[in-house]
Amino acid sequence: MTRRFLVVLLLVTAALFPAALFSAGAAYAADSKATVLARWTQTSAAGYNEWNAARNNRAPWASYNFDWSTDYCSSSPDNPLGFTFDLSCWHHDFGYRNYKAIGTFSANKSRLDDMFYADLKRVCATYSSVSQAACNSLAWTYYQAVKIFGSVAAVKQSDLDRAAALLPAA
């Protein structure tokens, strides 16, 4: 009797397991835009990887109407000294544009900038130890620039005055 019970339990579990997977997938697909956006804009490699997979296969995410546009690193070089910062900049643009679209940019800007820096450091980690110091220095510089100047709405007059003071006299 115990053996028969285990066989029946095993068959029932095997029959229900795909249904459980389907339900989980359906719930995942029904996540709000803000929830998906939050997952994709974490500082972790997993957040970056999930965003990048979606970037490469946007069709399943079409109903969310994400803004995938980018100007990469804006007016800064996309790949300074040959370091590949372009996808990190795209990820950052994605966060900025989409949080602005849902009206929660100010609450998320700091995390988006931290995400950008984490992405850049992961890029730098792929280079040889000889090149990493230069890459990390550039990553820090890019991070500081977006922290201070990353959004016109976030820039204060004192920031503009400080930047103007750094320019050489004409």
- Phi-psi region at 65: left, alpha or beta (left = phi > 0; alpha = psi -120 to 50): left
| Amino acid in the structure at residue 89 | C
- Radius of gyration for the chain, computed over Cα atoms and rounded to the nearest angstrom: 22
The C-alpha atoms of residue 122 and residue 127 are separated, in whole angstroms, by: 10
Q: Would you report the helix, strand and coil content of the chain in percent, each value rounded to 5?
A: 75, 0, 25
Q: What are the residue numbers of the active site?
A: 92
